[in-house]
Chains A and B, each alone.
Chain A
């Protein structure tokens, strides 16, 4: 991150229109070598450790089932039209695979310190009107819903939606012939558990690191890395991506070349949004409820 972003944490280097850094061969090679070390760690330490621990604590494959609704906004497009993604957009809602429709994202505020009139709004129309003394309120976090249901985000959601082939460590763990490809959904109900999520994170790490290794060589040294952008007089836009913790969306509207409304649905709030303990459909509440 520091290589192309100046420093970490809190890297700079991304601006409207692209990136500030023009790639050069030195940096590409440096990144390739560093990535090699990371890949070594993932293949030879991280993944084996996860499955070793999984073998010892098998009961954790049935704890922390969650709401079984998963959503991913998709990340790492593999073409310019954003038709194919390394980690695909989509949702798994009430046991059905559905295409992603950002119009179905809404924010609820019943248990948040915001005016009740602003509940169930789409973020493009979203409002943030604080009401610190609201009786039912106990959090400053809004509760995002997809298709009016709580959804879980993060590595497990992305892996379930994408359903990629897993590493050979997984074959070994499950006692399946290494020549056979197994996919994330082959874990079945095991995927919806503490260890399922941990395995998803580790397997996703490998998937991304292996892809990065190829992407580095697709960079064109010296080629421009950003384009000039004029701020439009009036416009509305949406940016959807995946942060490590889950689906991340920004909605903006511009009026007179100035920001008129800006709403963020942060990745972190899909899993622990406010709700009563009775509302165990909320992912994190439910996990705490089910803890051994």
Chain B
């Protein structure tokens, strides 16, 4: 079954045969992806200042076997957490793979680029006695790749490591590339962590059809184009101006600090962990897919970017 782009987008958007969690990975589609991806350039996955949450999220892709996805579709050649090898040999293999596929491979970057103390704050490898800082790794790999997938809030925009006052001087890939004048295209897949579908879907799109259409914050429109607030199960309360003052109250949660009105994602229809739940059902949206999370969206228990009576936040980011 040859798979065409429109079909693929339909599946990703969750309007196809099966919505969400493993929709992208139906057996027919997996085999089609496998064929289409055969011989395609590999993905190299590196980690900077992060918590490995993006990797764990990806591993939560239950069906089919994640190993199949990683090896056959994504042709993941290097992943510091999943692979067995480590140390100097692994670092040399990383450089060899990048060299062999220069200009063709896709670089997945999990975690922020840590630039503090000339990069000494983050040294993922040591080769022949020389410390390889994450700055060096990013400069070497970033300039050689066909495109970079900046994973999670940290890889995309700096995330929690870059939160004020940012002592380790962390930043997202785009900002780092600007600083180092690297022109490789960057695709942001923000979220804390990103949904496994967003990761697999974007990588599959890149391998099969090239870079997907991106929004102004560099995110694929297939996954990040709907406003959480417009699709919130509590939206009608907002329209009636009925606000919850306490967790467990009936009402819209915007006064408890929900960032749904300024967050774009498709969590509301995709659901997490095989449709078990999503943040808004449980508590509220923290805006983890948005530029500025968490600093400009904190504290978690304050209202939306405006000063409220019970809020410690000083309202430093504009007002409405």
Please determine whether A22 and B248 come into contact, CB atoms closer than 8 angstroms.
Answer: yes
Interface size classification for chain B: 20 to 34
Contact of A15 among B117, B281, B300, B312 (CB under 8 A): B300
Asked if A84 lies at the interface with its beta carbon under 8 angstroms from chain B, I say no
Please determine whether A5 and B193 come into contact, CB atoms closer than 8 angstroms.
Answer: no
Given contacts A3-B276, A20-B283, A225-B248, contact A10 B312 (CB under 8 A): no
Contact of A8 among B273, B283, B312 (CB under 8 A): B273
Residues of chain A with a CB closer than 8 A to B280's CB:
6
Residues of chain A with a CB closer than 8 A to B283's CB:
6, 12-13, 15, 20-21
A274 smallest CB distance to B (angstroms): 14
Asked if A96 lies at the interface with its beta carbon under 8 angstroms from chain B, I say no
Asked if A178 lies at the interface with its beta carbon under 8 angstroms from chain B, I say no
User: How far is A258 from B282 in the complex, measured between Cα atoms in Å?
Assistant: 27
User: How far is A26 from B281 in the complex, measured between Cα atoms in Å?
Assistant: 14
User: How far is A21 from B248 in the complex, measured between Cα atoms in Å?
Assistant: 7
User: How far is A258 from B313 in the complex, measured between Cα atoms in Å?
Assistant: 11
Contact of A10 among B120, B121, B192 (CB under 8 A): B192
Residues of chain A with a CB closer than 8 A to B282's CB:
4-7, 12-13, 20-21
* CB-based nearest A residue for B281: A6
Residues of chain B with a CB closer than 8 A to A52's CB:
none
User: How far is A6 from B280 in the complex, measured between Cα atoms in Å?
Assistant: 7
B286 smallest CB distance to A (angstroms): 7
A12 smallest CB distance to B (angstroms): 5
User: How far is A8 from B276 in the complex, measured between Cα atoms in Å?
Assistant: 10
Please determine whether B120 and A132 come into contact, CB atoms closer than 8 angstroms.
Answer: yes
Please determine whether A226 and B248 come into contact, CB atoms closer than 8 angstroms.
Answer: yes
Given contacts A4-B282, A6-B272, contact A20 B121 (CB under 8 A): no
Given contacts A5-B282, A228-B246, A231-B312, contact A10 B276 (CB under 8 A): no
Asked if B56 lies at the interface with its beta carbon under 8 angstroms from chain A, I say yes
User: How far is A22 from B250 in the complex, measured between Cα atoms in Å?
Assistant: 11
Please determine whether A12 and B60 come into contact, CB atoms closer than 8 angstroms.
Answer: no
User: How far is A140 from B56 in the complex, measured between Cα atoms in Å?
Assistant: 24
Asked if A49 lies at the interface with its beta carbon under 8 angstroms from chain B, I say no
User: How far is A258 from B120 in the complex, measured between Cα atoms in Å?
Assistant: 31
Given contacts A7-B273, A12-B286, A21-B282, contact A224 B312 (CB under 8 A): no
User: How far is A113 from B116 in the complex, measured between Cα atoms in Å?
Assistant: 13
Residues of chain A with a CB closer than 8 A to B192's CB:
10
Please determine whether B120 and A7 come into contact, CB atoms closer than 8 angstroms.
Answer: no
B126 smallest CB distance to A (angstroms): 11
Chain A window 94-129, contacts with chain B (Cβ cutoff 8 Å), 1 for yes, 0 for no: 000000000000000000010000000000000000
Asked if A187 lies at the interface with its beta carbon under 8 angstroms from chain B, I say no
Please determine whether A8 and B286 come into contact, CB atoms closer than 8 angstroms.
Answer: no
Chain A window 1-29, contacts with chain B (Cβ cutoff 8 Å), 1 for yes, 0 for no: 11111111110110110111110000000
Residues of chain B with a CB closer than 8 A to A232's CB:
none
List 4 tightest A-B contacts by C-beta distance, closest first. A6-B282, A20-B283, A7-B272, A132-B117
A interface with B by C-beta (< 8 Å): 1-10, 12-13, 15-16, 18-22, 113, 130, 132, 140, 224-226, 228, 231, 257-258
